[in-house]
């Protein structure tokens, strides 16, 4: 009896997978706007004879029932990013999308979600082609809106786990600038919590020649941003990881007008809930305090999004790690430290009290000492064949850790 892990690279319809990948890469869609992507996923599931339903707006859920056994869920995210692609690929994206404020932006799969979707579809094809090698139920979760921390919540709120079988574990993976064929997996915390804030500080407008008549919000904002950098460097134990980043700053319309307000955005990351709360409290204290020192009105602090912590259940992570070592080779799997990147994946299991496991897989053919472009870069372009082979093989191996049957039995 042949297992899907034995055939996934040789018998899988590789040409079809590559065709799907090229199409997805060339036609990315912004978060929570993944309509054409959802249509493509639904069509592929239909072709495989997999029952499916829409969930959370542009999410798609497929359910493969194959006899008695456990229920396992596997998630792939589907959204692109507002980035102008600069990879030079023949199938590079020239797509555009519209942000919530009406701004038209270029769109790119700059985080590899096209790889995730294609790998999960390929894993589903491998498993449905070998139904005698596994038993149980597999829930395929094609989730929108990961980049804005909206998709997992939207699917849960839309009754994901009332409409799909409740899993005993939720699995997921992410392509990274690592050597293809390799996997990094963490036990315990895998990825950080993240909060994004929009801060508006207010001043008093005046002519640039009369600064004494103004309260300058640009100077105020500059002091706030500078002072925020002391939270990690001076308020936290040096052994405590955290990040406070200001990614945008907007103020004024003309060089000789001191404006009446300035707006900037912040990104805050931490591994532990108590550290997160301490940093957020410090941000609000500093923003308010600097405004008071400047004689300015109280600033407005608004939440843009909040990512939960991505936590790998240690027992289930050990089980998946063992399966990945069997499927990809002992020397190709490493136990890794948590990363400061963030994911809303953890919410899918957390919402119903079931464990989850998330790992990183390599998607680049790298020479010794060579570094790949990082995620969210305009140059991010996994090597299609090796990346899909790694993602598909890893997905199948992890799924079979729960649903596989002994081919000798």
Q: pLDDT tens, 186-214?
A: 999 999 999 999 999 999 999 999 999 99
DSSP letter (8 states) at residue 231: I
Residue among 194, 242, 196, 243 at smallest CA distance from 344: 194
What H or E segment, with its residue span, contains residue 276? Answer: helix 273-293
CA dist., res. 271 & res. 178, Å (int): 23
State how beta strands 183-185 and 96-98 pair: unpaired
In 284-306, which positions are buried (b, 16+ CB within 10 angstroms) versus exposed (e)?
Answer: eebbeebbeebebeebebeeebb
**Average pLDDT in the chain:** 95
E strands, 78-157, in order: 96-98, 104-106, 136-143
Q: Is the pLDDT of residue 3 over 90?
A: no
Of the chain, the percentage scoring pLDDT greater than 90 comes to 93
Q: Is the pLDDT of residue 316 over 80?
A: yes
CA dist., res. 154 & res. 144, Å (int): 9
Distance of CA 248 to the CA centre of its chain: 21
- Number of Cα atoms under 13 Å in the Cβ half of residue 113: 30
| Coil vs helix vs strand at 93 | coil
Q: What is the pLDDT of residue 366?
A: 86
E strands, 111-186, in order: 136-143, 169-179, 183-185
Residue among 184, 180, 179 at smallest CA distance from 371: 179
CA 122, 125, 128: angle at the middle one, nearest 5? Answer: 150
Confidence of residue 87 (pLDDT cuts 50, 70, 90): very high
Confidence of residue 406 (pLDDT cuts 50, 70, 90): low
E strands, 217-355, in order: 242-251, 257-258, 261-270, 300-307, 310-312, 333-335
Q: What is the pLDDT of residue 10?
A: 53
| Coil vs helix vs strand at 71 | strand
pLDDT tens profile 300-313: 999 999 999 899 99
Q: What is the pLDDT of residue 2?
A: 59
Residues 269-286 have a mean pLDDT of 97
- 213 contacts: CB under 8 Å, gap ≥ 6: 204, 206, 207
Q: Is the pLDDT of residue 399 over 70?
A: yes
CB 386 within 8 A of CB 178: no
Locate tokens 């249509």: which residue?
39
In 157-176, which positions are buried (b, 16+ CB within 10 angstroms) versus exposed (e)?
Answer: ebebbeebbebebbbbbbbb
Confidence of residue 405 (pLDDT cuts 50, 70, 90): confident
Q: How many CB atoms lie within 10 A of CB 374?
A: 12
Q: Is the pLDDT of residue 349 over 50?
A: yes
Main-chain phi, psi angles of 98, to 5 degrees: -120, 125
Q: Is the pLDDT of residue 139 over 50?
A: yes
- Number of Cα atoms under 13 Å in the Cβ half of residue 120: 30
Main-chain phi, psi angles of 74, to 5 degrees: -135, 130
- The mean-pLDDT minimum among 135-144, 318-327, 363-372 falls in 363-372
Q: Is the pLDDT of residue 236 over 50?
A: yes
Q: What is the pLDDT of residue 44?
A: 97
Q: What is the pLDDT of residue 407?
A: 43
Q: Which two tokens stand for residue 253?
A: 């319309």
Q: How many CB atoms lie within 10 A of CB 253?
A: 6
Q: Is the pLDDT of residue 8 over 70?
A: no
Q: Which two tokens stand for residue 289?
A: 């305090």
In 209-240, which positions are buried (b, 16+ CB within 10 angstroms) versus exposed (e)?
Answer: eeeeebbbbbbbbbbbbebbeebbeeebeeee
CA dist., res. 382 & res. 119, Å (int): 13
Q: How many CB atoms lie within 10 A of CB 24?
A: 26
pTM of the model: 0.91
Q: What is the pLDDT of residue 272?
A: 95
Q: What is the pLDDT of residue 409?
A: 37
Q: Is the pLDDT of residue 180 over 90?
A: yes
pLDDT tens profile 221-234: 999 999 999 999 99
- 252 contacts: CB under 8 Å, gap ≥ 6: 218, 258, 259, 262
Instruction: State the angle between helix axes of 14-26 and 384-403 in degrees (0 to 180), rounded to the nearest 10.
Output: 110
Q: What is the pLDDT of residue 88?
A: 97
Burial of 207 (0-12, 13-18, 19+ CB in 10 A): exposed
């Amino acid at each position: 009896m042949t297992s899907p892990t034995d055939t996934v690279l040789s018998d899988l319809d590789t040409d079809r997978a590559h065709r799907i990948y090229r199409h997805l890469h060339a036609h990315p869609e912004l978060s929570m706007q993944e309509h054409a992507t959802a249509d493509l996923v639904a069509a592929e599931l239909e072709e495989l004879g997999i029952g499916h339903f829409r969930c959370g707006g542009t999410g798609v859920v497929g359910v493969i029932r194959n006899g008695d056994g456990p229920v396992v869920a596997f998630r792939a995210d589907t959204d692109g990013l507002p980035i102008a692609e600069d990879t030079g690929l023949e199938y590079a994206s020239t797509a555009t999308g519209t942000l919530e404020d009406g701004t038209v932006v270029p769109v790119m799969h700059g985080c590899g979600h096209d790889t995730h979707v294609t790998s999960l579809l390929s894993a589903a094809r491998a498993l449905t082609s070998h139904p005698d090698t596994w038993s149980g139920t597999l829930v395929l979760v094609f989730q929108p809106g990961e980049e804005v921390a909206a998709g997992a919540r939207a699917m849960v709120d839309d009754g994901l786990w009332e409409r799909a079988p409740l899993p005993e574990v939720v699995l997921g993976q992410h392509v990274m600038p690592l050597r293809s064929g390799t996997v990094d997996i963490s036990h315990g915390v895998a990825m950080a919590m993240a909060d994004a804030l929009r801060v508006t500080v207010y001043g008093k407008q005046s002519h640039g020649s009369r600064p004494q008549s103004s309260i300058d919000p640009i100077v105020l904002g500059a002091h706030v941003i500078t002072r925020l950098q002391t939270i990690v460097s001076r308020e936290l134990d040096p052994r405590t990881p955290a990040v406070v980043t200001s990614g945008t700053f907007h103020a004024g319309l003309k060089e000789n007008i001191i404006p009446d307000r300035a707006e900037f955005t912040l990104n805050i990351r931490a591994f532990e809930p108590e550290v997160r709360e301490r940093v957020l409290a410090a941000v609000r204290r500093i923003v308010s305090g600097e405004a008071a020192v400047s004689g300015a009105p109280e600033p407005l602090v608004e939440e843009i999004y909040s990512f939960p912590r991505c936590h790998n259940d240690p027992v289930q992570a050990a089980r998946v790690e063992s399966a990945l070592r069997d499927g990809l080779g002992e020397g190709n799997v490493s136990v890794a430290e948590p990363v400061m990147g963030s994911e809303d994946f953890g919410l899918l299991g957390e919402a119903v009290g079931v464990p989850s496991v998330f790992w990183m897989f390599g998607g680049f053919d790298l020479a010794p000492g060579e570094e790949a472009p990082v995620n969210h870069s305009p140059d991010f372009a996994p090597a299609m064949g090796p990346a899909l082979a790694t993602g598909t093989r890893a997905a199948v191996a992890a799924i079979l850790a729960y649903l596989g049957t002994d081919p000798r039995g």
